[in-house]
Amino acid sequence: MLAVQDLGFAYRRGAEELFNGLSHEFTPGAVTAVTGPSGRGKSTLLYVLGLMLTPSRGRVILGGDAVSSAPDAVRARVRAHRIGFVFQDSALDPTRTVLDSVVEPALYAGWGLGRARDRGRDLLEQMGVGARADHRPGEISGARRNGSRSAGHW
């Protein structure tokens, strides 16, 4: 179970806070779409949920544990073992295949390469880009690469 309680985030003290005290419980196995105009915090929310940014108020709860305020080492372990995050932007290595980028979090979590690649192919199929698994990020269409879908959930 993933949830946020009274969530707020500001990039610096005194700056405009995003999320306005958002509280939400994400339904396991359900697809949740984060939509809105450019610059309104959609990517920032994903970074907060992925424990790569720390909220300025409120908390992120994963499996009943408040993980957003944990020390960096603990958050890194949680990311490695419980969160799959595939970037859709320039963070993708242009020299590696899409599949390689998808399986990387599983490898950090200690999965074997064969198992990780099988699961990665399954996820890419589910997202409608399985036929492009062995392509480089620059070889897939812009609509698929820049936000129409994203893969996660190991």
CA distance 78 to 73: 9
Of 30-39, 78-87, 124-133, 138-147, minimum mean pLDDT range: 138-147
More confident residue, 37 or 112: 112
Residue 86 is given by DSSP the state -
Whether 55 contacts 7, CB under 8 Å: yes
pTM: 0.66
Q: Which two tokens stand for residue 119?
A: 């699961």
pLDDT at 138 over 80: no
Domain boundaries, the chain: 2-69, 98-148
- The sign of the CA dihedral 83, 88, 93, 95 is positive
**Token pair listed for 76:** 């890194």
Q: Which residue(s) pair with 65 in the sheet?
A: 62
Which tokens belong to 140? Answer: 């897939």
Confidence of residue 146 (pLDDT cuts 50, 70, 90): very low
Predicted confidence (pLDDT) per residue in 9-41, tens digit: 999 988 889 999 999 999 988 888 888 888 889
